[in-house]
Amino acid sequence: MGKILTALALKNRNIDIDDVTCHMCGSREESVNHLFSKCIIASRVWHHIVLWCKVPLFVTGSVRELLEVHNAVGLSNTAKEVFQGVVRVGCWSIWRSRNKLRFEDKQVRVEDILSEIKSNGFLWSLCNFVDRLV
């Protein structure tokens, strides 16, 4: 929907941005689709998530496809919902890492992103489970 303020989105809104290159990989313009789907850091994160969740490898070209990938990985019912939560938490963790790099000059490490996804993904799943019991 164009609401995430990547460097390219800011420039498109006439905000004075000198460099719209992705800070995480330095290879392309920082668009939403690049940051969450095509950036080498995001690709490595999703590859580890695939292995961790034991789902088929997927490739997405857009955030919209990424947010719908839970429908295409062969999971059903609760497992599908949990995987959807992991993907959402993954996007949030990638965004947080990007912001830490951009505003605090903190190094982006795939291992740190994965650790955050696993801990927050577990909490998300637990909250969903408790909500169903209540």
* CA atoms of 30 and 21, how far apart (whole Å): 5
What does the pLDDT read at residue 78? 84
| Phi, psi torsion values for 29, nearest 5 degrees | -65, 145
What is residue 93's three-state secondary structure? helix
For residue range 20-47, list pLDDT tens digits in order. 999 999 999 999 999 999 999 999 999 9
For residue range 44-77, list pLDDT tens digits in order. 999 999 999 999 999 999 999 999 999 999 998 8
| Chain-centre distance for alpha carbon 128 | 20
pTM over 0.75: yes
Q: Which of 90, 84, 57, 56 is nearest to 70 (CA)?
A: 84
What does the pLDDT read at residue 120? 85
